[in-house]
Structure formats: structure tokens, C-alpha cells
Amino acid sequence: MKNFCTSIVVLFLFQMTQAQDITLPLWPADKIPNYQKTDEVERGENTDIIRISKVQSPDIAVYLPARTNSTGQAVIICPGGGYTYISYDWEGTDIAKLLNAKGITAIVLKYRLPDAKSNIIRQLSPLLDAKRAMRIVRANADKWRIKKNNIGIMGFSAGGHLAATLATHFDNGDKNSKDSIEQQSSRPDFAVLVYPVITMNKSFTHMGSRENLLGSNPDSSLVNFYSNELQVTKDTPPTFLLHTTDDETVPVENSLVFYEALKKHNVSAEMHIFPHGVHGFALALRQRPLEIWPELLVSWMRSLDK
């Protein structure tokens, strides 16, 4: 009987812990912007990592730290995948769990991808979803014990491009909207860009991400608009950049030009360039010295929390 009661208590505590995680749709089902109904279905593949493609129902998964550990900081995570799939656990939920252990609320964004037939205009959906995610988190700040002015955006590879796009193309919200979420600002308070695609300039972009986002022959105005190094202003939030010199997929120049743009506009920035590390290293476990990068990030984030 004693063992049975112990098991019930353990199960209850486990369920209470699991209940901390919340999944919310970004949009009402009948009000998804830039969306048209097709016969397309969302796909999930779970081999070495979880890959999600053809996203039809964008959402956020909210990971809350233990109440006593919570710092009040939060970050929305945009996993990469070349704008053709989302590396959902590798660059998403695994990162969220590590940040939770440091007292940081982490939100994994499942955003729509531009190659889906359900998009009306292919390049619009990822940014629309990232803006909406920021607004939802800000609107729920009190409920989730988050400081409303300490919510960041984080992205890896093509997800880094999306994060950088939000950091340079945000808005202050629509104060006249009947939707209280849409009244919220979409400006992140900080940005974390990990081996990010930054530019759409052919000379050192990731061509797969560029073609998936903009098509094979985009207009020059679109190329400039989504080349985020050209969109930095004094209002771009403080940024943490991480890259490796020998990245053969997304050249390190992407981070370098963004850092230079931040410096030009007097935006606070911290950049770490490691000599070696294959593209897509995520937590870089067992890759020394690269595996220390999460500690560098957490230290930087704490320096912002004043």
C-alpha cells in the first residue's frame, strides 16, 4: 500500500511538472493571415531529429521554469531548417529545456514555411508568425511571470534569419485593433542569432534559404528588404551573435556584416566566433571549446537584466 501511495504522489508531481508546458495556436483557425486552404497537410519526421514541414497550424510551445528559479526573462526560439523544415527538437525544445534550467522562460515557435502551397505570398508568413508570437508572449507576461520588457527572439540558421528579420522589421502594434494581442508591440528586447543567415546577397547568403524564402528570381527590392544587415537602425535591440569560422553552409560573413551594422548604429552587441564547428551544431555537446556557448549566452542575458 505504501509503495502504491508513493507511486501516486510521484505520478501527481510528474503531471504537475508536465502541466507547466503550454501549447497555443498563434491565430484563430479561421483568421490565419496570408493563408489559403489547400489539400496540403503538415508533415512530421522523427529520425535522428524531429523535422516539421508544410506547417499549416503555427503555434508556440511555452516552457516555464520552476517558479523559484524564474528570472523573469523569456526568449522565443526559431529553429532552423533552411526555410523548408523546422528542426523542432534539435534547435528548439532541447534549447528551451536548457534555458529553463537557468530560470529563463523559453517559447518554441512552429512557424509557417514559405514553400507551403497554403501561403498566398510566400515570404510573408514566417515574419507574420514571429510577430504574432512576440505579441502573444507579451500579452501573457503577467500570467507566465515574465517581465514585459525582457522578451527576446532567438534563431538558428534560417531561424536566425527569421529572428534577425523580426529584430529589424518589428512594429509597435495596432492600438486600434479589437484584438488585444495585436495591440502589443512585436519588438524584441534582445536578439540571439546562432550561425544565422543574415543577407540575401548572393555573394555569401545560404542560397537554399534565399530561394525557399524569395523564390528563384526575386526582385531586387525583396532582396534588399530581407537582407537584414541593411535594415539595422538605432532601435534594433541588443544582439548576441555566435558563429564558426569554418562554417561551409552559412558563411561567417553573415554574422560579421550584421555586427558591423549594429556597431555603425551604436547598438549593443556581443559576438563570439569560434574557429571550428560544423554548421547546425545546436548545443555543441562534446565539441570543445564550442560547447561553452550556452554559458556565454546566459551570462550576456543576465547582463541585460537590470
Residue 187 cell numbers, joined = 519588438
Q: What is the pLDDT of residue 246?
A: 95
The Cβ of residue 125 has, within 10 Å, a number of other Cβ atoms equal to 23
List, for residues 110-154, the tens digit of each pLDDT value: 999 999 999 999 999 999 999 999 999 999 999 999 999 999 999
- Whether 290 has a pLDDT exceeding 80, the answer reads yes
pLDDT above 70 as % of the chain: 93
pLDDT over 90 (residue 167): yes
State yes or no: pLDDT of 10 exceeds 90.
Answer: no
In this prediction, residue 274 carries a pLDDT of 97
* pLDDT reported for residue 257: 98
Q: Residue 282: pLDDT above 70?
A: yes
Given this model, what pLDDT does residue 306 score? 64
Chain centroid to CA 79: 6
Reported as a single tens digit per residue, the pLDDT across 60-94 is 999 999 999 999 999 999 999 999 999 999 999 99
Cα–Cα distance, 193 to 202 (Å, whole number) = 20
Indicate the pTM of the whole model: 0.93
Of 229, 112, 119, nearest to 165 (Cα)? 229
Per residue in 17-67, pLDDT (tens digit) is 443 479 999 999 899 999 999 999 999 999 899 999 999 999 999 999 999
- DSSP-assigned beta bridge partners for residue 86: 52
What phi and psi, each to the nearest 5 degrees, are found at residue 61? -110, 120
The average pLDDT across 241-257 equals: 97
Whole-number pLDDT of residue 78: 98
Predicted local distance difference test score (pLDDT) of residue 21: 79
CA dihedral 13, 16, 17, 20 (to 10 degrees): -170
Question: What are 106's strand-pairing partners?
Answer: 63, 75
305 pLDDT band (50/70/90 cuts)? confident
Residue ranges and CATH numbers for the domains of the chain are 2-304 (3.40.50.1820)
DSSP result, the chain: -HHHHHHHHHHHHHHHHHTT-EEEESS-TT--TTB---S---EEEESSSEEEES-SS-EEEEEPPPGGG--S-EEEEE--STTT-EETIIIIIHHHHHHHHTT-EEEEEE---TT-TTBSSTTHHHHHHHHHHHHHHHHTTTTTT--TT-EEEEEETHHHHHHHHHHHS-----TT-SSTTTTS----SEEEEES------TTTS-HHHHHHHH-SS--HHHHHHT-GGGS--TTSPPEEEEEETT-SSS-THHHHHHHHHHHHTT--EEEEEES---TT-TT-TT-TTGGGHHHHHHHHHHHH--
- The string of pLDDT tens digits covering residues 180-212 is 999 999 999 999 999 999 999 999 999 999 999
Q: What is the mean pLDDT of residues 212-231?
A: 97
- Give the mean model confidence (pLDDT) for residues 219-241: 98
